[in-house]
Amino acid sequence: MVLAGGLGTRVREITNDEIPKVLLPVLGKPFLYYKLASLWEMGVTSTTVLTGQLGHLVDDYIQTNPIAGMHITTVHDGPKLLGTAGAIARSLDHLPTSFWVTYGDSYVTADLSAAESRAIELKVSAVMTVYRNRDRIQPSNVSVIDDFIVRYEKGAPPGTFEWIDYGLMFLPKSAFKGIPTSSKSDLSFVLMSLLASKQLIGFEALHRFWDIGTSDALRDTERHFQSWHIL
């Protein structure tokens, strides 16, 4: 599940509300190109992109730029944005018992099979990939003790947390039971519930994430892709 329904308010000076954030150009290609390519490289063969405002443009891009070996569908929020959890809850009928969720505006890579195996080993239902950030890229927001996520909080003072939510989460369908599909609901509610029931572990991602959430981040990501010859 690729969460791509955000309004992109922090990059509005670039999008001008004319394109979704995930279609912002990076080295001449929409960022969604890199996002889907990274999923394919991690072994993903079936992807649902959850869209919001201007979602028809995402539809058009996916239909005209298929990825061999990957089945891609889109689901629209509708006239009222449902938030990250609400959008997923609305799509539950089409989802397996457990599934991966990722943010559409970040480029991330991790060993998904190893993360799932660790969850089975520890007899838990959910995984949050985490990066040892120490407030370097963005404010950190996660505490991990003996594999388990023990605290998840945004907006804490600098130095509070060592880890950051990396943007790849393995979640059970059951965690979305009761999430409304007619009003806005954030994914953090689901994560906090899993944390409280000791069903959420952290799995370390070894490579930093790159995102397009702000104009500065977009420039940094473009420079990184250019130096990496990702084309």
- 167-223 tens-digit pLDDT: 999 999 999 999 988 888 999 999 999 999 999 999 999 999 999 989 999 999 999
| Residue 89: domain span | 2-228
Residue type, 45: T
pLDDT for res 29? 94
At residue 148, what is the residue type?
F
Q: What is the pLDDT of residue 231?
A: 47
CATH number of domain containing 222 = 3.90.550.10
Listed in sequence order, the residues at least 6 apart from 160 whose beta carbon sits closer than 8 Å to its beta carbon are 140, 153
pLDDT in tens, the chain (231 residues): 999 976 656 666 776 678 889 999 999 999 999 999 999 999 999 999 999 888 899 999 999 999 999 999 999 887 677 889 999 998 888 899 999 999 999 999 999 999 999 999 999 999 999 999 999 999 999 999 999 999 999 999 999 999 999 999 999 999 999 998 888 899 999 999 999 999 999 999 999 999 998 999 999 999 999 887 544
What was the pLDDT predicted at 26?
Answer: 93
Largest Cα–Cα distance of the chain, in whole Å?
47
Torsion of Cα atoms, 216 then 14 then 11 then 76, to 10°: -140
DSSP code of 124? -
Handedness of CA 220, 101, 180, 154 (dihedral sign): negative
For residue 54, what pLDDT is reported?
84
Alpha helices in the chain (DSSP H): 12-15, 31-41, 55-64, 83-90, 112-122, 187-196, 215-228
Number of domains in the chain: 1
